[in-house]
């Protein structure tokens, strides 16, 4: 089922994001996690695309497994990185053959070892170009990324929102946001998007901090996420107590989602880091109108 239709039919959607493992043998572990996530009945599972397109084949394989073997709807990520138009067309055909109907269209990060994204000959330089190409190729439901704090490469949030408008005008059906920890950033982002006449659903992305290394990584320039002083102070105090960090990260995510629930969001997209237990604990504390 197309995600745009799910969003039309449901008051609140729930989705979970997983990523292809780097090691081949860990694929079965991921499949176990996905089956465990099935207990919470997500509306769709999102499968990421490795940096530089490094997990392209695995993304298609996992997306197919989710859709055809596990019977769950799936959203396959697709980026412009190191791919020509012919490459993208071939991937779209492969996804269609596996009954995948939904794509998250992204420009993508530069390949490992490079600092800037470079459009290759015959390829795309921006996500709106990829959206337009997918739209013309076949009848997929297309999602795009939104950045409540602005994309790290954008000179301003206003410029970033204009770029988001281009993606929506090119044919995107919905927006999933990058992680954020201050809900006011999300509300300001949503209000600004509405002023630009961006009318598609904007789904907030929720990232439960589960360990200290995650905390350090998401606070780095690569992510550019703003960490609230309350979260930062607490995690620093608990950095030698992994169990308490996870407990607090789950509590913080629950409080974030409670607040968002009262402010008419169309759904929640949870970045699972390939773990099911924290997700189930979070949802066990929330009265979600499903």
- How far apart (Å, rounded) are the C-alpha atoms in residues 93 and 99? 10
Residue 48 near residue 16 (C-beta atoms within 8 A): no
Query: 76: part of which helix (H) or strand (E)?
Result: strand 74-79
Q: What is the pLDDT of residues 10-67, one digit of tens each?
A: 999 999 999 999 876 689 999 999 999 999 999 999 999 865 555 668 999 999 999 9
Tokens in use for 168? 């929506």
Residue 15 near residue 46 (C-beta atoms within 8 A): yes
Q: What's the confidence (pLDDT) of residue 116?
A: 74
pLDDT-based confidence at residue 109 (cuts at 50, 70, 90): confident
Give the residue extent of every domain in the chain: 3-280
Is 17 noted as a catalytic residue in this protein? yes
Q: What is the pLDDT of residues 55-88, one digit of tens each?
A: 668 999 999 999 999 999 999 999 998 889 999 9
Q: What is the pLDDT of residues 212-222, one digit of tens each?
A: 999 998 887 77
Q: What is the pLDDT of residues 113-147, one digit of tens each?
A: 666 777 888 889 899 999 999 999 989 999 999 99
Question: Could you tell me the pTM of the whole model?
Answer: 0.95
Q: What's the confidence (pLDDT) of residue 65?
A: 97
Tokens in use for 32? 């176990």
Residue 4 near residue 173 (C-beta atoms within 8 A): yes
- How far apart (Å, rounded) are the C-alpha atoms in residues 1 and 201? 17
- How far apart (Å, rounded) are the C-alpha atoms in residues 181 and 112? 27
Q: What's the confidence (pLDDT) of residue 183?
A: 98
Q: What's the confidence (pLDDT) of residue 161?
A: 98
Q: Give the rounded distance of the alpha carbon of 272 from its chain centre.
A: 10
Q: How is domain 3-280 classified at the architecture level of CATH?
A: Alpha-Beta Barrel (3.20)
Choice among 17, 98, 101, 129 that is catalytic:
17
How much is the CA Rg of the chain, to the nearest whole Å?
18
Among candidate residues 199, 198, 200, 204, the one with its CA nearest the CA of residue 185: 204
Q: What's the confidence (pLDDT) of residue 218?
A: 87
Proportion of the chain above pLDDT 70, given as a percent: 94
């Amino acid at each position: 089922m197309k995600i745009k239709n799910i969003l039309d039919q449901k008051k609140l959607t729930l989705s979970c994001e997983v990523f292809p493992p780097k090691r081949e043998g860990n694929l079965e572990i991921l499949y176990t996690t996905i089956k465990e996530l099935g207990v919470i009945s997500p509306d769709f599972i999102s499968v990421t695309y490795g940096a530089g397109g490094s997990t392209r084949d695995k993304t298609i394989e996992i997306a197919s497994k989710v859709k055809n073997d596990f019977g769950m709807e799936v959203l396959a990520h697709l980026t412009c990185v190191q791919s020509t138009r012919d490459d993208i067309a071939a991937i779209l055909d492969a996804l269609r053959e596996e009954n995948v109907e939904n794509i998250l269209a992204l420009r993508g990060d530069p390949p490992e070892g490079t600092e800037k994204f470079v459009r290759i000959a015959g390829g795309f330089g921006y996500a709106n170009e990829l959206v337009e190409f997918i739209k013309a190729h076949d009848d997929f439901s297309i999602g795009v990324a939104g950045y409540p704090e602005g994309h790290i490469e954008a000179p301003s949030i206003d410029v970033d929102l204009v770029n988001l408008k281009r993606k929506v005008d090119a044919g995107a059906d919905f927006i999933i946001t990058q992680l954020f920890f201050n809900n006011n950033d999300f509300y300001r982002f949503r209000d600004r998007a509405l002023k630009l006449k961006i009318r598609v659903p904007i789904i907030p992305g929720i990232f439960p901090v589960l360990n200290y290394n995650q905390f350090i990584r998401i606070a780095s320039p690569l992510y550019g996420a703003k960490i609230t002083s309350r979260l930062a102070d607490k995690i620093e105090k608990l950095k030698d107590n992994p169990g308490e960090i996870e407990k607090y990260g789950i509590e913080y995510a629950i409080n974030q989602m409670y607040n968002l629930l009262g402010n008419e969001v169309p759904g929640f997209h949870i970045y699972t880091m390939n773990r099911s237990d924290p997700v189930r604990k979070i949802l066990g504390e929330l009265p979600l109108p499903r």
